[in-house]
Amino acid sequence: MVTLTIDGQEVTVPRGTTLLKAAESVGTKVPHYCYHDGLSSPAMCRLCLVEVEGAPKLQPSCVTQAQDGQVVHTGSPNAEAMRRGVLEFYLVNHPLDCPICDQSGECKLQDFVHAEGREHGRSREPKRVFGRDDFGGDVLFYGDRCVMCTRCVRFMNEVEQDPRLTVVERGNRSVIDTFFERGLDGTNWSGNIVDICPVGALVSKDFLYKQRAWDLDHTPSICPSCSQGCNIDLHTRDNLVQRLKPRTNLEVNAHWMCDHGRHNYEFMNRGDRIEAPLVKEGDRHTEVGWKEALSTMLDRAREVGGTVRAVASPFSCNEDLAALKAVVEALGGGEIVYRLARAEEEIPLKGMPTLARRRDLAPNGTGADALGLERVGDDDGTGGLETVSSHDGVVLVLGDALQDQAADFAGGASLFVYLGTHASEAVQGGDFILPVTTFAEQEGTFTNRVGRVQRFWPGLQAPGAARPAWLVLGAVASELTEAEPANTAAEAFSRWVASNEPFAGLDYASLGTRGASMNEPVSAAGD
């Protein structure tokens, strides 16, 4: 450990810590472009220059290691003057097209110039023009906006390890490019270069001109596209998910997410939702209120009895699955199965061996397994429901829309209840069709492939009368067993924990925003 003074504040950091990180630990953010926590440091943006007493020149804080007894001034007049100077250079050729730039509002050039730059740049010269280039994949390149931090080049070299990008030419003709027309097509993680671009040089085609960054609400969530459990933010507006962005969690996905997950969000915005509880009368379904739907259903359930066969979904959270299990047990027990599509292969991120787009294409298969649910069906997520379909007792389906099943699914069941978001031909046979929320509309937790339990929060408003499944099923179980229902997701979670020995001791507060692994409860909120 070394002890140094930064801006008059004494701080002790491990040997090898950079001044930039040491300053961060006392709450001082030194502006920077080329430095990124997940990449090597070329020290070329020259923006993180700080004054170190005794050093002849200003030092780049991103590579200068803290030394014992060092006295550092991040905001000395000299350091500020030089950073102001460097910022002016950034604007010499920058087009200032903020009004039509997607990055506007989350742009580090805007931020830093606003914080430390000159009021007016002095350059009157014509600006250099590179124009726009389609890099392939989801990535568009606006060369004029580029600040040449080379984060994107280093991401492709060091993290994705598919070095498709390079700096071409030199000096002020330098520009980022691919190998001529060979773009980024076929890469699986290149969406990240849009995230780490500090300015609007690399933008997403999907997000192009779609929304202004400052209009978006950010909700911490978990990527539902595979069992890795990448931490993400849902960026929403107008009750629609506009884009997904990775949220830093060094233990799961660091700063990254794959393109597959990143672009798989439209399903959260689907409009053809089941919006009210439906009760089958004859061959028609009638919209009813929740109270009526549930009491009718309970009456029917008590009346028919018999064993239960249930289908769950690995897209359902732990809380929902636990509530489903409780209902099945209250009705007299039975088996619960789930189906999970499986990709042919993993898509690893070479620079981070613990991160990959996993084969299991759902977020909570592990959570289902932990509850003793049985995985059935084929690798494309179909089939395997013959015994359920032909069951003559109670059939419960949660979340699985049974797209592959025929209209006579569970035709012989004494009671067929479907809780889901969307209808299908098979679902139409349900005696009760109950609207539940998606993960994007509710609070809950997923358990990723290595048993890490991670929370997500609601970023969208549920349509109509849709309610979280844990709330609906919790009410049903409570009626059946006369136990207290869970009133909050946290309570629902505690019931799941109670029935899951490996997760004993976890609660929402201890999970925080970063999650925790089974039997490794964190002592304080992770954030």
Residues that bind another protein (CB under 8 A): 41-47, 49, 57-58, 60, 63, 82, 85-86, 88-90, 92-93, 122-123, 125-126, 128, 147-148, 163-174, 177-180, 182
Would you state the structure tokens that stand for residue 520, as one six-digit string? 């490794």
Min CB(176)–another protein separation in Å = 10
- Return the number of other C-beta atoms located less than 10 Å from residue 2's C-beta: 17
| Nearer to another protein among residue 60 and residue 220 (C-beta) | 60
- Return the number of other C-beta atoms located less than 10 Å from residue 75's C-beta: 14
Angle value at C-alpha 175, between 171 and 177, nearest 5 degrees = 145
Min CB(25)–another protein separation in Å = 23
| Nearer to another protein among residue 148 and residue 368 (C-beta) | 148
Q: Are 220 and 457 in contact (CB under 8 A)?
A: yes
Min CB(164)–another protein separation in Å = 5
Contacting residues for 131 by C-beta, under 8 A, at least 6 apart: 143, 144
Q: Phi and psi (nearest 5°) for 351?
A: -80, -5
Q: What CA–CA distance (Å, rounded) separates 384 from 379?
A: 10
Q: Which residue reads 């393109």 in tokens?
A: 259
Q: Are 462 and 292 in contact (CB under 8 A)?
A: no
Residue length, the chain?
Answer: 527
| Nearer to another protein among residue 167 and residue 465 (C-beta) | 167
Would you state the structure tokens that stand for residue 400, as one six-digit string? 């699985």
Q: What Rg, from alpha-carbon coordinates, does the chain have?
A: 27
| Nearer to another protein among residue 85 and residue 333 (C-beta) | 85
| Nearer to another protein among residue 58 and residue 434 (C-beta) | 58
Q: What CA–CA distance (Å, rounded) separates 82 from 61?
A: 14
Q: Which of 358, 346, 349 lies closest to 189, judged by CA?
A: 349
Q: Are 427 and 420 in contact (CB under 8 A)?
A: yes
| Nearer to another protein among residue 187 and residue 447 (C-beta) | 187
Min CB(6)–another protein separation in Å = 20
| Nearer to another protein among residue 93 and residue 445 (C-beta) | 93
Min CB(171)–another protein separation in Å = 4
| Nearer to another protein among residue 82 and residue 323 (C-beta) | 82
Angle value at C-alpha 407, between 401 and 413, nearest 5 degrees = 85
Min CB(143)–another protein separation in Å = 13
Element (H, E) at 370: helix 365-370
Min CB(98)–another protein separation in Å = 19
- Return the number of other C-beta atoms located less than 10 Å from residue 128's C-beta: 14
Min CB(214)–another protein separation in Å = 27
| Nearer to another protein among residue 123 and residue 239 (C-beta) | 123
Positive or negative torsion for Cα 39, 45, 47, 51: positive
Would you state the structure tokens that stand for residue 360, as one six-digit string? 């299991």
Would you state the structure tokens that stand for residue 514, as one six-digit string? 């970063």
Min CB(36)–another protein separation in Å = 16
